[in-house]
Amino acid sequence: MSRKSFPGCFSRMTWKKHFFKETCCQCGASDTEIQNEDLEKRGKVRKRKKKNENKRAIVSNLPFGSKKWKENPNRYYDTNEIKTTKYTIITFLPKNIYEQLHRFANIYFLFIALLNFVPVVNAFQPEVSVIPICSIMIITAIKDAWEDFRRYKLDKEINHMGCYIYSREEHAYVEKCWKDVRVGDFVQLQCNEIVPADILLLHSSDQNGICHLETANLDGETNLKQRRVVMGFSSQDTVFEPEFFQNTIICEMPNNDLNKFKGYMEQPNHEQVGLNIENLLLRGCTIRNTEAAVGIVIYAGHETKAMLNNSGPRYKRSRIEQRMNRDIFSCVGLLFVMCLVGAIGHGIWTGKFWEHPPYDVPDWNGNFVAPVLAGFYMFLTMIILLQILIPISLYVSIELVKLGQVFLIHNDIDLYDEEADLPIQCRALTITEDLGQIQYIFSDKTGTLTENKMVFRRCTVDGIEFSHQENDRRLKTQRELDLEDFAKLQHFTLPPMGLERPGSYQPSTVRPLRRCQSDRAHSKGHARSRSVGRRDSSQSQVAFSSPIVTIPPPIKPSGITLEKIHQIFQRLKLASLSQSFSSSQSSSQLGASFSAKSPEEPLAVLESCDNGNDGSAGSGGQELQDKGSTEIGAASLDEVFRSATKASLPADFCYEAESPDEAALVYAAQAYGFVLVSRTPEQVTVQLPQGTLLTFDILYTLGFDSVRKRMSVVVRHPLTREIVVYTKGADSVIMDLLDSSTKGDISSDKRMKRIKERTQKHLDYYAHDGLRTLCIAKKVLNEDDFQKWANFRQEAEAAIDNREELLIETAQHLETKLTLLGATGIEDRLQDGVPDTIVSLREAGIKIWVLTGDKQETAVNIAYSCKLLNQRDTVFTINTENKETCESLLNLTLEEVKKNYECDKPRRKIFGIIPTSLPSPEAPSPEFGLVLDGRTLSIIFQGGLEEKLLELARHCRSVLCCCSTPLQKSMVVKLVRRQLKAMTLSIGTSCILPAYPASHRDMAGSVLGRNVGDVLYGADFCASGDGANDVSMIQAADVGIGISGQEGMQAVMASDFAISRFKHLKKLLLVHGHWCYARLAKMVIYFFYKNVCYVNLLFWYQFFCGFSGSTMLDYWQMIFFNLFFTSVPPLLFGVLDKDVSAETLLRLPELYKNGQNSEIYNLSAFIITMLDAFYQSLICFFVPYLTYKDSDIDVFSFGNPINTIALLTILLHQALEMKTWTVLQLVTMLCSVALYLIFSVAYNAACLLCSPPTNPYWIMERQLKDPTFYLLCLITPVIALLPRYIEQQDVRMAPFEMQFHRVTMFVIKYMLKPPT
């Protein structure tokens, strides 16, 4: 077997289908056989004891050969062989029967079948009674066996894949199967190979000790992640020798957390080295861009993180199924009543005889059965006789129908995203009908309502705001140019313009920013294409992630001084500031509100931006200030442009980022001439505008976590050799960490206070304009303080107990007394069709809540843009940190809302008719919106104010929860679902925690100090900042929908359905949701109707046979009636019927309320259906009875017309329910009747079970020649279905009345709409 390479990126399903084709031909080494024998002999007690420990120790397997294997402490750990099957050939039959008997219906029918074997109470042949339950269980068993066989084949393919394991005997890596890998083995991996187990990385062919991974098989992300060699093993001078490895690895017990791993490696000298997730290669990942890697197996088989996350599909019980289970118990109660009537009737019947009738045979002692006991026996007999009142095939039919519905949804071309090449994914097969009953939608903002394609818009540095509008225009132009034009355009980093001098500019009056003043560009979405080492002409430079290309740094030019670098920074700032002054009128008004009020003020602030604040820098800044109004003109700006473009990067330079907003920041920095050239674990190199290269040493990277809500990087500046901490995070976090202590310098304190106030003002404007904001700050450390902190950090990294808490504590200790540098504003455009979708969903009666972690101003602005809030709406905003204040505000707001609702109560239908009188010509009453922040939500949940919140929210058309954490999101969803008993839907995207420290992103900001580039690069924190922040919200709802966005696939993998665009939600709910609910609801009701109608024929006959439990129908025809003759048409009805066309459902969203209110399937509908079934059974029985009364026909000759009439009536009843006829449905109907006639004729002619005096011989043949038979088959169904037909005609007219009412109200609303 040869090592095989698999280039490209594959999805999880493709990985399963294509990567597991390779089998191992060299399995069966002697060591493995001994190991497997030992595993079979080991005791369960010892294994349980080992698993109960909270740590595991791992050593190398090499010192323990085949002879010493029993001394190996690793022998207790699981092997790498996986087994996902549930059955074996021996256990399949008993285990599958045991699992099927967990269903109440199966237990019920099995009890009935066994009861029929009791001679005293049997109703018909015992062998016949087991046919229905056996048929259903056999079909289910075949389905389960097929699914398990597929799992077995997949397991076999995986277990026999090949990998290279180090052998002590051969002193080399030998090829073995995956299933032979053991904990403690050394595994060698090459490029494009899949990791067979969870492996601790000890060696990499990369000179920096980096191994690149693709984790698409785990989380769906195609972006490459980096894993690092364990500290102390990264030296590439010598080849790694596994035989010399003598360390002991202490790590945590296996768990399913893909983002965390803690442990330490203890060396022979008792020195400990900390381990984390950056050192672990997870099973299922693919090695990329790394020639070779070697590691030791930590977890194997079912103990790997990938297998622990493989819990299989989640099962949810739909609302219809819950309703159906209650109705089945109602049918059980009905069956009990009918059997009780039969038992009492039998006692009354036999009580009329003065002496025992001839058919009443005594026992061998000559004693007759007591009347009470005879009644009890008859009760059991009636249960057997009327058992089909419970629809045994309903569960299997529902599963088949849902599969058909999922198939149609999956193949809807309107739900296919051509740009991303993604169809809708239906991950849950049991809740399709719930899509038609949604009452509340909880949505995230980032990536769900917005594109998640970021465009850098603005930044503020030291309180001065810089516009990025012109650069954005240039970047848009670049997308339209070919590669050659793009290479030329690279030299125009800041395009020359006719810029006015600051002194000649007269700022306009500062005024609040209105939404119409936003400079947001409404451009089309970008087409995403994977980079292959060069930037395509169609690829945006603004927002997209692409594989990083690391090129060797150019030769550093000589003769560059620190003063010249400072000067170029200042000129760039002034150029950008002047550029914002000369923009268009609308943007100049906006820029004026951010700009300085005098031409000297920007230059004065520029002086304070010098890095280091030494004397020479200060004098340089002062000199620039003095020349600002006279010497800095167009010529000097042109000189800046020329110097900034001397060393531009080649056109094929592109980056990879963890998220689109980070890519937008680094590309914006590149547009201003500050280019990230290379990135290694220890260093990062940045090119300055004039071509100078600065290489920073990375000392520490403090990754993001949900507690701190920020991330930091510790670097050593290459020029000043200072140790600097750069921190980025949300403004609500960073602002509280700023240094507020007075330093004695009054002017400096005032300046910092002024910078903070202006930055906060700019942040508020950014948020008001719908931009995503990020603050950046810094802190300079001395060597002693840094060394002390580094020692604490190393101890925390080496800890295994409370390691995460210690790491957070050390990070918080460092991130204090920061100096504010600036902030950024990035635009995340709305997706196409979001406003229209939200309007339609609200017209459908769905209330929409947006739960986001963004700033309140940003979220409110987006809410107005997507029409979640309207300008006429009355929006209540509650922001408080006090329980009493919060309760008071909730009470006052609720009182105000109730006053308006009392004045404007909706009109009700009168006998199902909407009054047609026109309303008075007055302005429509305002709708209400509610805005809360995360702190208020905490007060509400902690203070027991949930009921008041719900009462208020029920009267609001929209609720907006800002700055909320993932836990708060899930708590809100659970609160509404449980307290209001409402059907909820959550939709969101994934935001993934960086798999490795994003130092290359932090460093692009750190390298620029307090200059423009300082705030051009950072990271957004996925709304509230938690990784996979929508997963808990999605799992908490009745229906979870994931958006397959650009930041990972955790939400998709945790969801029930996955779509690529928010606009697809409109058709998914309003069309497919309505259809699935209507189809399944009608099918379930039809099954109840069919069984009750048919079983009542036997019940009415008991009144004429002395309640003896006998029947007028043949047993085989009774069994086949539900099993074959009437089984297929309901299935097609549940899959293909369309009560309303898709166009009508999209045009009239109000039709969706039928499912919300459960108008098709509810208690009243069930009762009416049962009454209709009783009525139809009465007609089908007594019309033939009155026709053949006083005739001499036998029992079967009387029952055969009743059976035929019942079949026609039941099929025609379904025909009345159908709103859309297809050829397939028509053919199925005709085939059902033809099958019945053919079977009856053949069965009666063969007379296989004929027993005198009554038998079915030649019954059908004789009646087919009788005109009375045809007359009954024509008249009886018409009489039985006449009420149903009249009711259906009323129902068919309802949509037209609703449409007329909707058009009328639309005209009225349009006439009363106030002018804009």
Active-site residue flag, 444: yes
Are β-strands 280-281 and 263-266 bridged in parallel, bridged antiparallel, or unpaired?
unpaired
Catalytic position from the list 31, 434, 444, 1020: 444
Among candidate residues 1053, 1057, 1050, the one with its CA nearest the CA of residue 428? 1057
Instruction: Report how far residue 183's alpha carbon sits from residue 174's, in angstroms, rounded to the nearest whole number.
Output: 16
Tell me the helix, strand and coil percentages in the chain, rounded to 5.
50, 15, 40
350: tokens are: 């036999």
End-to-end CA distance of the chain: 74
122: tokens are: 């049997």
Q: Given the structure tokens 């005109």, which residue do they identify?
A: 1267
Instruction: Report how far residue 214's alpha carbon sits from residue 598's, in angstroms, rounded to the nearest whole number.
Output: 53
- In this structure, are residues 305 and 263 in contact, taking their beta carbons and an 8 Å threshold? no
Instruction: Report how far residue 841's alpha carbon sits from residue 641's, in angstroms, rounded to the nearest whole number.
Output: 51
667: tokens are: 């590309």
775: tokens are: 């603050």
Among candidate residues 224, 3, 241, 331, the one with its CA nearest the CA of residue 1095? 331
Are β-strands 693-702 and 683-687 bridged in parallel, bridged antiparallel, or unpaired?
antiparallel
57: tokens are: 């120790």
313: tokens are: 């599909």
The Cβ-side half-sphere exposure at 1287, using a 13 Å CA radius, reads 12
- In this structure, are residues 200 and 298 in contact, taking their beta carbons and an 8 Å threshold? yes
Contacts of 271 (CB under 8 A, 6+ apart): none
What distances in angstroms separate CA 290 from CA 545, 680, 889, 1188, one per listed residue?
20, 14, 60, 89
| Angle in degrees, 0-180, between the axes of helices 803-814 and 783-798, rounded to the nearest 10 | 170
483: tokens are: 């590669």
DSSP-derived secondary structure letter, 900: H
Bond before 921 cis per omega within 30 degrees: no
φ and ψ of 60, to 5 deg: -70, 145
Among candidate residues 1218, 1273, 1280, the one with its CA nearest the CA of residue 1240? 1273
Residue 649, beta-bridge partner list: none
Largest CA distance in the chain: 132
- In this structure, are residues 74 and 56 in contact, taking their beta carbons and an 8 Å threshold? no
Q: How many CB atoms lie within 10 A of CB 1269?
A: 20
Coil, strand, or helix at residue 249?
strand
- Residue 829's H or E segment, with its range, is strand 819-830
Are β-strands 425-426 and 248-252 bridged in parallel, bridged antiparallel, or unpaired?
unpaired
- In this structure, are residues 1131 and 395 in contact, taking their beta carbons and an 8 Å threshold? no
- Residue 779's H or E segment, with its range, is strand 771-781
Instruction: Report how far residue 530's alpha carbon sits from residue 544's, in angstroms, rounded to the nearest whole number.
Output: 9
E strands present in 430-588:
440-443, 450-461, 464-467
Instruction: Report how far residue 178's alpha carbon sits from residue 480's, in angstroms, rounded to the nearest whole number.
Output: 50
Instruction: Report how far residue 367's alpha carbon sits from residue 360's, in angstroms, rounded to the nearest whole number.
Output: 11
Runs of H (alpha helix) within 769-879: 783-798, 803-814, 834-843, 856-865
Could you list the active site residues?
444
